[in-house]
Amino acid sequence: MLIDFFYTLRAAKLPVSVKEFLTLLEALQADVVGPRQPDACSIDDFYYLARTALVKDEKHFDKFDRAFAAYFKGVEQIADFRKEIPADWLRKVLEKELTPEQKAAIEKMGWDELMETLKKRLEEQKERHEGGSKWIGTGGTSPFGHGGYNPQGIRIGGKGQNKSAVKVWDQRAYRDYDDSQELGTRNIKVALRRLRRFARQGNELELDLPDTIRSTAANAGWLDIKMVPERHNTVKVLLLMDVGGTMDEHIARVEELFSAAKAEMKHLEFYYFHNCVYDFMWRNNRRRFAEKFATWDIIRKYNKDYKLIFVGDATMSPYEILQPGGSVEYNNEEPGAEWLQRLTHAFPKFAWINPEPQGVWQYRQSIAIIQQLMGQRMFPLTLKGLEDAMRMLSK
């Protein structure tokens, strides 16, 4: 069985060697996980053992996860998040289908009312509910749960589908954007080159052909070689990228942009955020809570000569931008708008690149708010949009 698993990993373009595969088999024969370890013989433990033995670089973890899930599909759920809310309450059996008229008739709660009502439901609810409009459950119009519809609620478990949740009660794993993506990046590189500025720096290592010809001619034909310092790209870019949630729809295009930016920009620093910037960001999505970078430290670390570029769809609940505690993931002390204003004040040359089609911007309240905070410096992730953004940043 594991021979086929090995070939599945190779088919997924993972650099797994025979030696690493034999190491995994040796670990299994030594009962690192297995019958002699009754508390550690789940598919979870085999997953971590296999990943440790076979994957030597964190950038391949996502490919491994997908290949592992595809091969062992149906064996057992890989992750068990063990929430305080019983899993039975969140088991989706049916999908509630509502007409546009029924959806329009559902009233949405304000922020304070939503938080207070959830607290009461957690205290009062004793059993699973499905298809209702009040309790935590599935398939209904309640603002708490998943699998149904509510214009503004808290998604608990399940997968997002209506993009209307103002908070998410779930453990979500994001993956880093692949900076080695090459397909389709050529035109993006051309657009980004509008931002480059060159200066001669360092030791004199490059032949100055015009000056050499001129000096040799003036020296009666006696060769007089002239050298100059190499030309280096002096533009500095601070790239802040939204990841996870609705950005999953744009992964391929953002990876192309990220790959092109790393190829074209010698001085590139990047960080991730989710939906809106708050008091911390991160550089590795698997360690985003263990290795945080305070936004204040980032502001202090880089000089004003850095060009600040946000990449995100700006699609979120307005509470995430304007409300303390509005983040879908944790209780932020200050609203995202405060942090966006601090960043744009610290880095006067800034722009926001939005992968969402420009035609839908007018229908998203959060996009209008971000546009206002950015001083209308929002550009679509198209070649023309990138060229316009680079032209504006280079002024």
What pLDDT sits at residue 80? Answer: 40
Alpha helices in the chain (DSSP H): 2-11, 18-29, 43-54, 61-71, 100-105, 111-124, 186-192, 209-218, 251-264, 295-301, 319-322, 336-346, 365-373, 383-393
Q: Six-digit token pair at 66?
A: 């997908």
Are the CB atoms for 244 and 327 separated by under 8 Å? no
Q: Is the whole model's pTM more than 0.95, yes or no?
A: no
Identify the residue whose tokens are 């749960």.
145
What pLDDT sits at residue 35? Answer: 54
pLDDT digits 0-9 by tens, 220-245? 888 888 877 666 567 889 999 999 88
Q: What is the DSSP letter of 395?
A: -
What pLDDT sits at residue 378? Answer: 95
Architecture of the domain whose range is 186-194+234-393 = 3-Layer(aba) Sandwich (3.40)
Closest to 122 (Cα-Cα) out of 142, 109, 105, 136: 136
Q: Where are the beta strands (DSSP E) in 274-371?
A: 280-281, 293-294, 306-311, 350-354
The shares of helix, strand and coil residues in the chain, as percent rounded to the nearest 5, are 40, 15, 40
What pLDDT sits at residue 171? Answer: 52
Are the CB atoms for 313 and 242 separated by under 8 Å? yes
What pLDDT sits at residue 119? Answer: 66
| Residue stretches of the chain with pLDDT short of 70 | 1, 34-41, 73-115, 118-185, 196-206, 229-233
The helix-helix angle for 365-373 and 336-346 (nearest 10°) equals 30
What pLDDT sits at residue 201? Answer: 53
pLDDT digits 0-9 by tens, 182-224? 445 677 777 777 776 544 455 566 677 888 888 888 888 888 8
Residue type, 46: F
CA 251 to chain centre: 8
